[in-house]
Amino acid sequence: MKLCIIDFETANNHPASACSIGLVVFEDGVVEYEGVYLIKPDPEHAFFDPFNISIHGIQPEDVENAPTFEELWPLLRPWFHQNLLVAHNAMFDMSVLNALLLQYGISKPLCTYIDTVEIARRLWPFLPNHRLNTVCDYLGISLNHHEALSDARGSALILMNAMATVEDYDINSFILHLKLKERAL
């Protein structure tokens, strides 16, 4: 089973307004693929909120010639289907993914997911919070916060550090070891 670590950035507060996705794919502890893609939101959700722009820096003109999620999906689907997805604050990223799939009438891939926030809370409960930048700072992970590929890499490295901390490098065993909630998409 491959691990597909993802991070979405959105144009506004609607989950179907994704304007970027970063992903890192691991198999047997080796990076198989990394990618970051700009996404042109569907016109229904294409408004770029100044607040979101201030967070990730993506402007409407940056996505003018980018593919829509529907156009990008054939490239992404193999990384998602029958694999384990991982995200930091996975509820956000999975809500974006589900909204995009619904928006374009795309069937959900067969996959489950885990959340690195849950992992961080279990292993490092003493941190002041478990935001991505806080956990990465604690672990000495370099992060360009809210750049989708950097955030996906940060989440991947949190997972790898967590596995090293408990000395369990098999993902299924690790999930059982930490009593993580593996959820279906």
Total domains in the chain come to 1
Other CB atoms within 10 Å distance of the CB of residue 76: 18
Q: Which of 178, 183, 182, 181 is nearest to 122 (CA)?
A: 178
DSSP H or E run through 181:
none
Does 28 score more than 90 pLDDT? no
The CATH number for 74's domain is 3.30.420.10
Q: What is the pLDDT of residue 29?
A: 82
**30-63 b/e with 16+ CB inside 10 Å = b?**
eeeeebbbbbbbbeebeebeeebbeebebeeebb
pLDDT in tens, 46-81: 999 999 999 999 999 999 999 999 999 999 999 999
Does 172 score more than 90 pLDDT? yes
Q: Indicate the DSSP class of residue 43.
A: G
Q: Which domain holds residue 171?
A: 3-184
